[in-house]
């Protein structure tokens, strides 16, 4: 049997609509089958609550007297984007405060705004004949301004990867803190509760779909940026009136050494128009797959290590190379469930009607990578031959080589050419000052290294962070194949 939107809305108005959350739908279909589910269930609600970096809000303050046309403006010291009419702005959640970056950012401004807290507005202008005021310094709350519109160009990823770290140091990423040597794993997304996982062919979700957004009502206004349907990484462009929203579902967050973002609560109702949708909304975590990806490799195309189901992810650990590693979520399952439950109640209470999309999401867009007009350089393009000495040689020989080759770095290897350490001209000076003769006493054994296919900018960042001036280039067997020094980078 098939149903129409107006039949479902009629039932919502009459109070006899049947709504299940996406989790409840799994059990229902399991017990009664798809056919009965398509007959009896009218709507399935979904929910997700996780960090969504492509989020922010348009605000309009009304004008001053005499009027001002902002050139720059700050909300609680967070620079907001001004490139529109005089007193419009966009506050983005990843923009960090000038004064306390990594502690407070645009997401926190939005949370504070929705909480009704006063926000400090500072702005300046180059002044014009029609906008003569040069500066504003004031405070406002959400009730004082004209519009506050949450407008998120990319939310609700269909699924996301699971991140691990193969490298030898702890890394801090937008996927959280990842311990070295595959010490832990993080994933995002609500799995079987996630909106787009329940409508993977975008039959009901599209331009104009009414949704739960940040605790209020919002709308899908098209496909999100980087929407990539062919490999099931669909995304949504969302908007809603911030004035109706609640801070419970809009939370500023800050990831150590990465920056700020915002948790956004999104819930989408899926009308069960036919058996196909009944079947799709019954998808369980066992059947939702994603990739385990190595964030220890700082490249766009990070190595994919294996496929994993959301069921395994939610179990608290995943298996990798025959080892169990602890795995936890970055998005909140508790709040995702609460969103699906809240939306269900709105519909049951007759307060929330469904509308057919004016246009469904594209199913054929292709995800492109950035076109670079200047060529990206790699370590292999700039490395030079390393000056080497064997680990058992004399300090004097090393010193002679430094002079003869006019270099600052001697790479120390064993007879197999394996990296053993590095000695700099400073180390030699120090050895003389301290009267040391054994290479062993002056060699730096814990050496930062790079590889042929590492982009130069990554190598440069490594040197800068660790305050060093050279990196030996090694292959997969730790054999020395060259060196890159700060001179080549300049």
Partner 1 sequence: MTVINVTLPFGLIKKVDDYSKIINVILEQHISVNILKFSTGRSGINLLLDIPEDKINSITEALKKNDIIVNKKGRVIIDIDLCIDCGACVSLCPTDALHMDEKGLLEYSLERCLGCGLCIDACPRSAIEET
Residues known to be catalytic: 130
Q: Is the dihedral of CA 23, 252, 240, 215 positive or negative?
A: positive
Contact flag: residue 50 with partner 1 (CB under 8 A): yes
Question: Of these, 333, 348, 468, 489, which contacts partner 1 (CB under 8 A)?
Answer: 333
Query: Which CB sits closer to partner 1, 9 or 184?
Result: 184
Task: Name the residue among 473, 19, 35 with its Cα closest to residue 277.
Answer: 35
SS3 356: coil
Query: Which CB sits closer to partner 1, 247 or 276?
Result: 247
Binding mask 88-107 for partner 1 (x = CB under 8 A): ---------------x----
CA distance 204 to 183: 41
CA distance 265 to 259: 20
- Encode 106-146 in three state secondary structure: HHHHHHHHHCCCCEEEEEECCCCCCCCCCEEEEEECHHHCC
Contact flag: residue 206 with partner 1 (CB under 8 A): no
Specify the DSSP class assigned to residue 59.
E
Smallest gap from residue 191 Cβ to partner 1 (A): 12
Q: Which residue in the block uniquely carries the two structure tokens 């006899």?
A: 16
Contact flag: residue 261 with partner 1 (CB under 8 A): yes
Contact flag: residue 177 with partner 1 (CB under 8 A): yes
Task: Name the residue among 15, 42, 7, 13 with its Cα closest to residue 28.
Answer: 42
Count of CB atoms situated within 10 Å of the CB of 257: 11
Query: Which CB sits closer to partner 1, 290 or 336?
Result: 336
Contact flag: residue 316 with partner 1 (CB under 8 A): yes
Binding mask 213-232 for partner 1 (x = CB under 8 A): --------------------
Which region among 132-140, 215-223, 322-330, 408-416 touches partner 1 (by CB under 8 A)?
322-330
Question: Of these, 227, 280, 335, 420, which contacts partner 1 (CB under 8 A)?
Answer: 335
* Chain residues 30-49 in contact with partner 1, contact rule CB under 8 A: 49
Task: Name the residue among 481, 427, 432 with its Cα closest to residue 453.
Answer: 481
Query: Which CB sits closer to partner 1, 248 or 488?
Result: 248
Q: Where are the alpha helices (DSSP H) in 132-265?
A: 195-198
**Phi, psi dihedrals of residue 45, rounded to the nearest 5°:** -105, 145
Question: Of these, 256, 394, 400, 487, which contacts partner 1 (CB under 8 A)?
Answer: 256
Contact flag: residue 305 with partner 1 (CB under 8 A): no
Q: For partner 1, how many residues bind (rule: CB under 8 A)?
A: 31
Specify the DSSP class assigned to residue 223.
E
Query: Which CB sits closer to partner 1, 9 or 332?
Result: 332
Smallest gap from residue 317 Cβ to partner 1 (A): 9
The site for partner 1 (CB under 8 A) is made up of 49-51, 103, 172, 176-177, 179, 184-186, 251, 253-256, 261, 263, 316, 326-337
């Amino acid at each position: 049997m098939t149903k129409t939107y107006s039949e479902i809305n009629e039932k919502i108005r009459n109070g006899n609509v049947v709504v299940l959350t996406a989790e409840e739908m799994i059990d229902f279909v399991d017990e009664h089958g798809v056919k009965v589910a398509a007959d009896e269930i009218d709507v399935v609600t979904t929910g997700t609550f996780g960090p969504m970096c492509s989020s922010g809000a348009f605000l309009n303050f009304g004008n001053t007297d005499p009027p001002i046309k902002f050139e720059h403006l700050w909300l609680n010291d967070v620079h907001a984007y001004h490139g529109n009419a005089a007193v419009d702005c966009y506050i983005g959640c990843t923009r960090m405060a000038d004064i306390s970056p990594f502690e407070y950012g645009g997401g926190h401004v939005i949370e504070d705004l929705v909480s009704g807290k006063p926000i400090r507005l500072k702005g300046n202008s180059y002044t014009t004949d029609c906008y003569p005021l040069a500066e504003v310094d004031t405070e406002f709350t959400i009730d004082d301004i004209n519009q506050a519109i949450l407008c998120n160009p990319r939310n609700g990823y269909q699924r996301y990867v699971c991140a691990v770290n193969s490298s030898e140091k702890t890394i801090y990423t937008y996927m959280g803190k990842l311990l070295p040597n595959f010490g832990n794993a993080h994933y995002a997304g609500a799995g079987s509760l996630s909106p787009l996982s329940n409508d993977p062919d975008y039959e009901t979700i599209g331009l104009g779909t009414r949704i739960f957004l940040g605790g209020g009502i919002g709308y899908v206004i098209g496909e999100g940026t980087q929407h990539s349907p062919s490999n099931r990484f669909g995304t949504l462009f969302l908007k809603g009136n911030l004035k109706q929203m609640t801070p419970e579902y809009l939370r500023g967050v800050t990831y150590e050494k990465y920056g700020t973002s915002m948790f956004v609560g999104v819930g989408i109702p899926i009308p069960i128009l036919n058996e196909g949708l009944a079947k799709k909304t019954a998808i369980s975590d066992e059947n939702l797959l994603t990739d385990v990806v190595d964030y220890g490799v700082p490249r766009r195309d990070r190595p994919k290590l294996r496929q994993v189901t959301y069921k395994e992810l939610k179990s608290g650990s995943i298996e990798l190379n025959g080892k169990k590693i602890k795995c936890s979520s970055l998005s909140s399952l508790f709040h995702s469930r609460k969103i699906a439950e809240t939306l269900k109640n709105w519909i049951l209470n007759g307060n929330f009607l469904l509308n057919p999309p004016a246009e469904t999401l594209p199913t054929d867009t292709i995800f492109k990578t950035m076109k670079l007009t200047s060529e990206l350089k790699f370590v292999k393009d700039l490395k030079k031959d390393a000056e080497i000495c064997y680990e058992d040689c004399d300090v004097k020989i090393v010193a002679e080589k430094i002079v003869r080759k006019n270099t600052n770095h001697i790479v120390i290897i064993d007879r197999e050419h394996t990296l053993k350490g590095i000695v700099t001209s400073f180390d030699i000076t120090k050895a003389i000052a301290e009267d040391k003769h054994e290479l062993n006493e002056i060699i730096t054994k814990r050496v930062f290294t790079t590889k042929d296919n590492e982009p130069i900018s990554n190598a440069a960042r490594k040197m800068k962070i660790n305050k060093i001036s050279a990196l030996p280039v090694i292959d997969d067997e730790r054999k020395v194949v060259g060196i890159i020094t700060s001179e080549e980078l300049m």
